[in-house]
Amino acid sequence: MQKFFLYARKSTDVEDKQVLSIEAQIAELRTFAKNEELNIIEELIEKQSAKIPGRPIFNAMISRIEKGEANGIISWHPDRLARNSVDGGKIIYLLDCGHICALKFPQFWFEPTPQGKFMLGIAFGQSKYYVDNLSENTKRGLRQKVRRGEYPGLAPLGYLNDLRSKNIVIDRKKIISVKQAFELYAKGDSRLEDISNFLTQCGIFSRNGKPLKRDRISFILSNPFYVGFFRYGKELYEGKHQPIISKKIFDQAQDILKQRGRSHHKTKNEPQAFCGMLKCDTCGMGITGEYRIKTQKNGNTHNYTYYHCTKKNKSVSCDESCIRQENLDEQTSSLLQKFSLSEI
Residue-wise pLDDT tens digits, 7-44: 999 886 544 445 448 888 999 999 999 999 999 999 99
pLDDT given for residue 341 in this prediction? 65
CB burial of 18-29 (b: ≥16 within 10 Å; e: otherwise) equals beebeeebeeeb
| Secondary structure letter of residue 283 according to DSSP | T
Do 245 and 329 reside in the same domain of the chain? Answer: no
pLDDT given for residue 272 in this prediction? 64
- Average confidence (pLDDT) over 191-220: 91
Do 17 and 82 reside in the same domain of the chain? Answer: yes
Any domain includes 9: yes
Any domain includes 288: yes
**Strand bridging mode 301-309 / 323-324:** antiparallel
Any domain includes 197: yes
Do 39 and 60 reside in the same domain of the chain? Answer: yes
Residues 6+ apart with CB under 8 A from 210: none
Q: Look at residues 243, 260, 277 and tell me which one is the last residue of a structural domain.
A: 260
Any domain includes 140: no
Give the chain's domain count. 3
Q: Which tops the pLDDT comparison, 314 or 50? A: 50
Q: How crowded is residue 231: how many other Cβ atoms within 10 Å of its Cβ? A: 13
Angle at 58 between CA 54 and CA 62, to 5 degrees: 110
Cα–Cα nearest to 149, from 244, 238, 228:
238
48-57, 305-314, 330-339 — which one is most confidently predicted on average? Answer: 48-57
Do 119 and 67 reside in the same domain of the chain? Answer: yes
Q: For the domain that residue 10 is a member of, what is the CATH number? A: 3.40.50.1390
Any domain includes 181: yes
Q: Look at residues 225, 260, 295 and tell me which one is the last residue of a structural domain.
A: 260
Q: Which tops the pLDDT comparison, 141 or 212? A: 212
Do 9 and 104 reside in the same domain of the chain? Answer: yes
* Span 266-283, pLDDT tens digits: 455 555 677 777 888 788
* Span 58-97, pLDDT tens digits: 999 999 999 999 999 999 999 899 999 899 999 999 999 9
CA distance 239 to 147: 9
Q: For the domain that residue 176 is a member of, what is the CATH number? A: 3.90.1750.20
Cα–Cα nearest to 308, from 299, 321, 327:
321
What are the distances in angstroms from CA 236 to CA 149, 218, 226, 227, 286?
10, 18, 13, 12, 39
> What distance lies between CA 9 and its chain's CA centroid?
22
- Say whether pLDDT at 263 is over 50: no
Share above pLDDT 90 across residues of the chain, in percent, rounded to a whole number:
44
Do 250 and 279 reside in the same domain of the chain? Answer: no
Cβ proximity of 241 and 168 under 8 Å = yes
DSSP result, 158-179: TEEEETTTTEEEE-TTTHHHHH
Q: Identify the domain containing residue 168 by its residue range.
A: 159-260
Any domain includes 40: yes
Mean residue pLDDT of the chain comes to 85
Among the residue ranges 168-172, 220-224, 321-325, the one predicted with the least confidence is 321-325
Any domain includes 315: yes
Do 100 and 208 reside in the same domain of the chain? Answer: no
The model scores a pTM over 0.85:
no
Do 126 and 217 reside in the same domain of the chain? Answer: no
